[in-house]
Structure 1
C-alpha cells in the first residue's frame, strides 16, 4: 500500500486523547474509533477531510478506560502537563485510508487486540446514540521532523472532534510511522475482522 501523502496544507486537526495519539504515533495501533463530540453541530461524527493533524488532549483521559498495559504510556503523556499549560505540541498528522462503520458489538469485541482502550471505553462509544454507527478510522500516521507548539485558544476547548488550528502550520519534512508493508499487513488483518 504505497501512498503519496503530503503534509496537510489545511490546518484541520482531530482532537484525540494524548495516550491514543502516542499509540498511533508509535505504531502501536492504526485505528481510532469515533462517534462524535458532544458539541458537534450535527451531534454525530463526520470525516471532514482524509488528512489532518492529531491534536492531543489531556484533561479528559481516564486510566480506567485504558488497558493496564498502556497505563505507563498514559502517565508519560502527563509528564510536564498541567491544566493551565498555555500550549500544546503537534507532532503527527494522519491520512485516513479507510472509514468503516459498524454497529455490531461482536466485531467491536474482535478489535480488542488492535487498540489501547478497555471494553468499557469501546462499549460507551458504541452504545452512545445507539442508532448511529461507530466509525473505525484506519489512520496512516506520519511524524513531523519538526513538531510545533501552538497556543491553546478558547476555540480548541470543549468536546468537539474537529477544529482548525489558528496559526499557519509550518511545512517541514515528515516520515511514516510504519513502513508501507507493515501498515498494509496490519490493515489487512483488521479489515478481515470487519468484513
Structure 2
C-alpha cells in the first residue's frame, strides 16, 4: 500500500488508503459470504460521484448508517443500531482488499438479479437506485485478505463524513501486508464469473473495468 498525498501536497508514509464500509458488510466479506459491494458515492465524494481511487485498500468499518431493516434476516441480529453521529473511540481493522473488478449498472432488473451475491435486502437496493437516479450503481468485486492480526487505531475526525475513501494514520504499513486470502483462487474466480454472468445477461453493454493484480 502506497503513501497518499496530503492536502498541502506533501507525502506521508503513515497515511494508508482505506475504503469505508458497514461493519456488518466487512464481516460478511471476511467470512467469504460475499465479494461484492454496492456504491453510489457519498455526499463528500469528489463531484458527488464514486470512483476507485485505490486498488489496494484497508477495509474501515463504519456503524452509523447500518440498520437491521436494510439487510437480510440472517444478518439483522448482528447489527446494533447507534445514534446519528456516533463513532467508536477506537477502530479495529481486520482486513484489506484488492479491487479486482468494477461495473456500472443502470437497470433495476440487473441489480435485483444480483441479490444472492450480497447481504442487503430489497429496501436498501431500492433506496440506492432511487438516490441520484441519473448516476449508475457501481458494483465492486473485492479479493479480501485477513490481516495477520487485528490492528486497533484511534478514531480521528477526518475519518468521518459521507465519503468512501479516507487516509488512515497511526498504522504501520508492515502490519497491513500479506495475510491469508479469505477465498482460494478457484473460489474467488467462480464468484467473479457468476456475478459477471448475471450482469452480462441483463446489461451486456454495462461499462466495466478489470484491474491488473497489484504486486507486493
Q: Structure 2-normalised TM-score?
A: 0.80
Report how far residue 170 of structure 1 moved. Answer: 3.7
| 2:22–2:62 contact (8 Å) kept in structure 1 | yes
User: Would you say 1:132 and 2:132 are equivalent positions?
Assistant: no
**How far did residue 84 of structure 1 move?**
5.7
Secondary structure in 2 matching 1:135: strand
Q: Which residue of 2 aligns with 1:161?
A: 164
- Tell me which of 172, 181, 187 is aligned to 1:176: 181
**Which of the two has higher C-alpha Rg?**
2
Alpha-carbon offset, residue 49 of structure 1: 1.1
Instruction: Decide which of 73, 77, 88 is 1:72's aligned counterpart.
Output: 77
- Give the SS at the match of 2:51: coil
**2:153 touches 2:171 (CA, 8 Å); kept in 1?**
no
Instruction: Report the counterpart of residue 214 of structure 2 in structure 1.
Output: none
Greater RCO, 1 or 2 (C-alpha within 8 Å, sep 6+): 1
Q: Unmatched 5+ residue regions in structure 1?
A: 1-7
Per-residue CA deviation, residues 45-87 of structure 1 (Å, 9 max, x unaligned), is 1110111010000122111101111123335xx8xxxx46310
CA RMSD of aligned residues (A): 1.6
Equivalent in the alignment of 2:105: 102
Q: What is residue 92 of structure 2 aligned with on the other side?
A: 89
Pick aligned residue for 1:123 from 126, 129, 133: 126
CA contact (8 A) 1:67 1:118 kept: yes
For 1:26, the equivalent position in structure 2 comes to: 31
Corresponding residue for residue 4 of structure 1? none
Query: Which residue is 2:13 aligned to?
Result: none
Contact 1:22–1:73 at 8 Å: present in 2 too?
no
Shift in Å, 1:41: 2.6
User: Does the residue aligned with 2:52 lie in a helix, a strand or coil?
Assistant: coil
- CA distance in structure 2 between the partners assigned to 1:126 and 1:60 by the alignment: 17
Separation in 1, partners of 2:100, 2:163: 22
User: What's the TM-score once normalised by structure 1's chain length?
Assistant: 0.89
| Residues 59 and 94, structure 2, Cα contact 8 Å, conserved in 1 | yes
Distance 1:52 1:194 in 2: 25
* Corresponding residue of 1:5: none
Q: Secondary structure at the match of 1:171?
A: helix
1:38 is the counterpart of 2:43: yes
